[in-house]
Amino acid sequence: MSSKDLLPNDGLSEIDQEFFCQAPPEYISPLPKPIEDFMNWARSESLFILAFGTGCGAIELRPLTTSRFDMYQYGIQMRATPRQSSVFIVGGYASVKTLKRIVRSYEQMQGPKFVVTLGSCPINGGMYWDSYNTINRIDHYLPIDISICGCMPRPESILAGFVELKKMIRAGQCDGANLYAKNFAWYKANQKRIIKDWNMPDYNW
């Protein structure tokens, strides 16, 4: 196996290595269809968002918790820790520095996990399309399930996006974690292309 496929956890000291997973993420095949459908329903009705505000879109997420929009009635709530969350929101432009944190948080989440992007910047760079530190297409670094357009999308459109996401989850179309596992080498290569001083483990936390 060439060194390109292997992706060792180099850059980590001996002591650190044992804290992290040494195996790449695996494709996990879904359960038998009726059970999986039921589980998908449960997943769609209980979306835990990782409360990690990247970019300007994070400010439009906060009103969702207030009494005017109240996303909790749709089973959407904020969690403070990536371990318990199932939805990751890339809220607007992602700089290189943020991407490192996005990747770390995303990999700490347990599958099945869904990624929602807000605004036009994660799609094609938006108004920062020629900037030296803003990533143009986030889907080359993470598997994206749904993009909500606008600059920034209003809370109503975010809610509409979540309703759409629920439909997609129920239909079994959101399999980002498995997609990430399948194309792991490609995603890692893209990430390493811009995060040049790669000093974190390659696989998982």
Partner 1 sequence: MGPLGLKIIYTLITLVICGVYGLLLGAFMAKTMARVQGRIGIPLHQPFVDIIKNYGKRTAISHGIMFYLGPVFRLTGGIGTLVFIPVIFGSEYFSNFSVAGDLLLVMYFIFFGQLGMALGASEGGHPYSPIGIARGLAQMCAFEVPFALAIIAIAIQYNTFSITEIVAAQQGGILSWTFFTNPFAVVAALLAMLGMNMYPPFSIVLAPQEIPIGPPTEYHSAYLGMLQSNRAIFAAAKLVLFMNLFFGGATNFPVLVLKTWAIYMCSVLVGAAFPRFRPEETIRFFLRWPTVIGIVGLLFAKYYLI
Partner 2 sequence: MMLEKLKQTFTVTEVKEQKKNLTFFTVPKEQMEMMLITLRDHHDYKHLSFIVGIDMIEDGVFKLTYMLYNYETNHSFGIHCNIDREKAEMDSFHHLWEQVGTYQRELREMLGINFEGSPRLEENLSLDEGWDGPPPMRRDFDTKEYSNNTYFQREGRVNYDPREYMREQLYPTFPKTESDKLLNGGGKK
Residue ranges in contact with partner 2 by CB under 8 A = 95-97, 100, 123-125, 129-137, 140, 190, 193-198
Q: Give CA–CA dist 170/47, Å, rounded.
A: 12
Q: Give CA–CA dist 184/131, Å, rounded.
A: 27
Q: Give CA–CA dist 165/156, Å, rounded.
A: 14
Q: Give CA–CA dist 201/182, Å, rounded.
A: 18
Q: In the stretch 24-63, what mask flags binding to partner 1 with x, by CB under 8 A?
A: -x--x---------xx--xx-xx----x------------
Q: Which of 2, 3, 13, 73 binds partner 1 (CB under 8 A)?
A: 73
To the nearest whole angstrom, how small is the minimum distance from the Cβ of residue 179 to partner 2? 17
CB 47 within 8 A of CB 40: no
To the nearest whole angstrom, how small is the minimum distance from the Cβ of residue 7 to partner 2? 18
CB 7 within 8 A of CB 185: yes
To the nearest whole angstrom, how small is the minimum distance from the Cβ of residue 83 to partner 2? 24
Judged by CB under 8 A, the stretch of 75-83, 126-134, 139-147, 159-167 that binds partner 1 is 75-83
